[in-house]
Structure 1
Amino acid sequence: MMSFKEFISGISFKSLQPHMPLTYTDEFSNTILPEEDEQMKKTLFEICSIPKMSTLALGTIINKGIAQMEDHLAFVNVGVWNGFTFLCGLVNNRNKKCIGIDNFSEFGSPREDFLTRFSSYRSEFHHFYDMDYVDYFKTCHNSPIGFYLYDGAHDYDNQLKGLQLAEPFFAKNCIIMVDDTNFEHPRQATLDFMSGSTNKYEIIMDAKTACNGHPTFWNGVMILQKLNE
């Protein structure tokens, strides 16, 4: 089995590359996974029909990361929207602790649609909190985090706060995924979070795309790994 770092570095694309201007392409045929390509695409095929601001490639990164996460750790996803990224973590990971948080304050508030989908995929280890992420971390969270995805508001202050509030729970080797890093504010907030932290982090992936909505890595992604306890 490939390590997580080997998997994400091995993702490639058949024709449309991240730096190329957007043209129509079928992301399933364009995306080439370095391991279990056919199996992973079958696993996520149904979920990829959910309205999303993400891609198959990003979904496979999440699914692989949760699959390799130690059982006592948690996957935490701030900002679930219609559920694509969160549910990508749940599929075939029924024994992994997965936590989603969203108060549905943006993008049409698809609360009922998400809850219907969540009820179809969840196990007893999967939880959702309908609340603001700041309140959640201050009053509810108590588990060490093995994979963290902040996908809430991407202004500088919220991006930085979303990382700082979760950081005390980051386990050693925790994976931190930040999307929309084509934009200046989430990128700079992430870099400032790293430079201002007493912990050590490694950027294990930093992919930009030619535009927002790109079928490779959408609007850019950064993936960090915490190196120390």
Structure 2
Amino acid sequence: MNHALFLERFQQRFSPAVASQPSPALEDPELRRLFDPCPEVQGMSSPKKLRLLNLAYGLLPPGEAWLEIGTFHGKSLIATLAGQPARPCYACDDFSQFGDHGNTLATLRANLAAHQLADRVNFFHGDFRRCLTEQHVYHPVGGYFFDGPHDYASQYDALRLVEPLLADEALVIVDDWRRADDSGSEAKAASEDWMARSTRRWRTLMELPARYNGDQAMWWNGLGVLWCSKS
């Protein structure tokens, strides 16, 4: 994926104020539904985050794939694909978290089917570490969204193991970038440690903020938007 084109389109879609400050309209649940492509699907995403994912997916060149780790009920995955030309798409979850919210493979499949997307997703049911191999992901990954476990070891592995699968240039979006007591996420620290040790070129393109975990008017719990290049 061409990261310069992504940045250009991001700036067209999100003004500096929208990117860095709360959007008051999104505080209202009824107004928020107008910006949500699948309001009936439960999820841990804000409208801005959903629009960002859809933008990134739409910029994938032919032959490059999208990969999402941590699908929950499929809200972010549905929003990513909605209205965009088909590209190879992989997703993975083991449904070991949030079981009290009905987090099951059957729920995900039903939601994808309701949005006519079931046949566009290659799904791996299991631990993400087992998914991140050429046996399961057999297109170069130009866009990678990680919303799996954000303990230090898992987040570190999420970048370390995906790196051989990435396209020559890849956009990597890491959820829960914000470190605070209400989230306990080590996403930023672990990602930056791998980026510093990797032999490839990594760069942080953007850090998109949130005021608290679950911030609907901003970026939910923060996003790290990263770029990786083989040369």
TM-score range, shorter chain: 0.7 to 0.9
Please name the residue that 2:190 is paired with.
Answer: 189
Which of these residues, 98, 101, 106, is aligned with residue 97 of structure 2? 106
Q: CA deviation at 1:24?
A: 7.6
Partner Cα separation in structure 1 for residue 30 and residue 5 of structure 2: 22
Residue of structure 2 in register with 1:67 after alignment: 58
> Secondary structure of the residue that 2:191 maps to in structure 1?
helix
3-state DSSP of counterpart to 1:198: coil
Residue of structure 2 in register with 1:214 after alignment: 215
Runs of 4+ in 1 over 4 A off after TM superposition: 27-30
Q: Counterpart of 2:166?
A: 170
Distance 1:153 1:124 in 2: 26
Q: Kindly provide the amino acid, as one letter, of the partner of residue 78 in structure 2.
A: L
Q: Which residue of 2 is the match for residue 52 of structure 1?
A: 43
Query: Which of 144, 150, 157 lines up with 1:148 in the alignment?
Result: 144
1:116 is matched with 110
1:28/1:203 CA distance change after superposition, 3 Å: farther
| TM-score, scaled to structure 1 | 0.83
| 2:44 counterpart SS class | coil
Deviation at 1:88, TM superposition (A): 1.6
Question: Per the alignment, do residues 96 and 203 of structure 1 end up closer, same or farther by CA in structure 2, a change over 3 Å counting?
Answer: same
Change (3 A) 1:8 1:123: same
In the alignment of these two chains, the number of paired residues is: 214
Amino acid in structure 2 at the alignment position of 1:103: D
Amino acid of the structure 1 residue aligned with 2:21: Q
List runs of 5+ in structure 1 lacking aligned partners. Answer: 31-40
> Percent sequence identity over matched residues?
23
Give structure 2 stretches of 5+ with no counterpart: 180-184
The equivalent of 1:38 in structure 2 is none
1:136 and 2:131 equivalent? yes
> What pairs with 1:13-52 in structure 2 (closer than 5 Å)?
17-18=21-22, 25-26=27-28, 45-52=36-43
Give 1:172 deviation, angstroms.
Answer: 2.3
State whether residues 53 and 79 of structure 2, in contact with CA within 8 Å, keep that contact through their aligned partners in structure 1.
yes
Q: C-alpha deviations, 1:76-124, integer Å up to 9, x for none?
A: 0011001111112221235211111111110113322211011233264
2 CA distance for matches of 1:199 and 1:156?
21
SS at match of 1:142: coil
Alignment RMSD (CA, Å) = 2.7
2:182 corresponds to? none
Per-residue Cα deviation, 1:62-83 (whole angstroms, up to 9, x for no partner): 1111111011011000110011
Task: Provide the rounded CA distance (Å) in 2 between the counterparts of 1:50 and 1:92.
Answer: 17
Distance in 2 (alpha carbons) for counterparts of 1:70 and 1:160: 27
Instruction: State the Cα distance separating 1:222 from its structure 2 match.
Output: 0.5
Secondary structure, aligned partner of 2:161: helix
**Cα displacement (A) at 1:142:** 2.1
SS across alignment from 1:47 = coil
Q: 1:117 to 1:57 in 2, by over 3 A?
A: same
Q: Tell me whether 145-154 or 202-211 shows the greater mean CA deviation.
A: 202-211
Report the equivalent of 2:227.
Answer: 225
Match of 1:157 among 153, 157, 173: 153
TM-score by length of 2: 0.82
